[in-house]
Amino acid sequence: MSKLLSMTEAIRRYVPDGAAVALGLALEPCIPFAAGHEIIRQGRRDLTLIGPISDILFDQLIGAGCVAKIQAAWVGNVSEGLGHCYRRATEQAQPRPIVTEDHSNFTIGLALRAASLGAPYIPTRSLLGSDLARKNSTFLHASSPFDGSPLLLVPALQPDVTILHVQRSDEDGNAHLWGSLGICQEAMLAARQVIIVAEEIVSREVITSDPNRVIGPSYKVCAVVHEPWGAHPSAVQGYYDRDHQFYHEYHTRTRTAEGFQQWLDEWVLGLKTRQEYIAKLGSARLGALSVKEHRYAAPVDYGY
């Protein structure tokens, strides 16, 4: 049965108020901005955002008032520095106060891995002696039952929904992702449900021709959305490059709450669909970001 839905319908069905949502899991590439913008347009509230570095999508959701809690390693603008909306929320409770549970990139991966295994926690020596181990009250200090050495127990973290942007998927949610995977696999296996957003929808035969590239099991997938350019301004390897200028413009314009609201009205609330967003970018900008030099992997022989 096909799981194809529009972005509007996928977010309406599977991202309710109060949901814990994992996003931006491949680190800098394949950030599902189109999904995040639809969450903002539908006015979701009291969300918990889960992820590693997150980049400006978390900042946008925070500035739009969608977020109650952050469980992440970092929130900001990778190439520019501060996330102004995140800073206003943490320092001034604008547009609302948020709760932050600090992780490292490693421990957020461990927390999701634990949930994917059905384990209550994963022990580690990472972070021992750091401020993170003291500040995040969900971490527990323990001793190894084998030699008594100190350990830190990282509790399992299960998102209600993980949203992944991928290069291609079939209609059932068997999806190929290549390049940086980050912690996409851990988050997909940990989540109760998964929304796949794909640059291309392809046949099952294309997917099964390269099974090792499948990011995770399709039975976890509740919806598949076909959304070309759905990760802009982040990069999607083999499809388009990172739009560095877009990040710079966002950083400059969102220094004030008024500036952020103007940016949000222009780039999110004033655009009903991703197609309108693409049209606003314009053909010249899209052409400049498109792939200039193809670098294909060597063929893989799955025969016997």
Decide if 75 contacts 51 (C-beta within 8 A).
no
Alpha carbon distance 186, 221 (integer Å): 14
Mean pLDDT across 18-46: 97
The mean pLDDT value for 246-275 works out to: 97
Domains defined for the chain, CATH in brackets: 7-43+158-289 (3.40.1080.10), 107-155 (no CATH)
- Who's near 89: CB < 8 A, 6+ residues apart? 62, 63, 67, 95, 96, 97, 98
- pLDDT, tens digit (0-9, with 9 covering 90-100), for 67-102: 999 999 999 998 888 899 999 999 999 999 999 999
Tens digit of pLDDT for each residue in 180-222? 999 999 999 999 999 999 999 999 999 999 999 999 999 999 9
E strand spans, the chain? 20-22, 47-51, 67-72, 99-102, 121-124, 140-143, 150-155, 161-169, 175-176, 193-201, 221-226
Q: Rounded CA gap, 60 and 185, in Å?
A: 25
Residue 1 has pLDDT above 80, yes or no: no
What tokens appear for 173 in the block? 């949610």
Strands 175-176 and 161-169: antiparallel
